[in-house]
Amino acid sequence: MEALNWLFRAITEDVLPSIGSVFINGFLYALLGLVAGLVLVAIAQRKGLLKREIRLWTMCTKLYWLYIPVLFMLLGGALGGVRGTHKAADQFIESSAVPLKDYSRSFMGFFIEKLPSLPWEPGKEMNVDKLVTKSMEQAGLISGGMASGIAGALNKAIISYVFGKLGLPDTFNNPTQLYQDLQKADLGNTTDGIIEPMRTYVGAFFWVKYKLVLLMFLPFLLVPAGEFFGHWLYRRGKRTVQGFYQS
């Protein structure tokens, strides 16, 4: 429990306050998004893609000069903020390699101690991710925040890596047998080389965050796409009608 509290304190004090990294990345990505949006609209304007057969419709498409650059700027800023936190987390792992190795051994002891008391439905399989999540829930350290997510990724990396070195499977349906196997195992050097798996798991955690940001902005990105598709259908229908009358 003390080790888990250390990890949360370290993340809260070293990763989340890295305002410089978050702000700089957010600003640069927002600026890049703004420029990309302006260039995209300018190219569309030059190629005549913003012209519509109806004057009012054409006037409405001029709003793309505001809508798309601002949308890309906000999207870039959001992705940049996540990227900044991701970089801060990677820097924390690199600069705290020694204490994280010590923490890994302590967390393994905590995990084995908690294993017999974890809620486990008879006959139901549980994977490493669920085991770690339930152990952290028992310790009252699952909040749904960024610190909790990063800590969860680090802990999952530890358990998955150690289980791999011990030759244990990824899923289990017998907590008693797992507990006994871990009690018998020699855990002395099983956490050596844990830093790279930590980077991998933290990277996977932030990859989900990137996708969530994109998903959040997707409806707004589909607005111009839908309008362009609607214009294509309109022109196609118009040509079909004209061809019908000409024939």
Give the residue, 86 or 118, on which the prediction is more confident: 86
Residues 6 or more apart whose Cβ sits within 8 Å of residue 194: 100, 101, 104, 157, 158, 161
Residue 247 has pLDDT above 60, yes or no: no
Mean pLDDT, to the nearest integer, of 12-37? 82
State which of 23-32, 107-116, 118-127, 139-148 shows the largest mean pLDDT. Answer: 23-32
The tens digit of pLDDT for each residue in 58-105 reads 888 899 999 999 999 999 999 998 998 898 889 889 888 888 888 888
State which of 24-33, 65-74, 111-120, 169-178 shows the largest mean pLDDT. Answer: 65-74
The fraction of the chain above a pLDDT of 90, given in percent, is 32
The tens digit of pLDDT for each residue in 180-197 reads 888 887 777 777 888 999
Q: What residue spans of the chain are helical by DSSP H?
A: 2-10, 19-46, 55-61, 64-95, 97-114, 128-138, 146-166, 175-184, 195-246
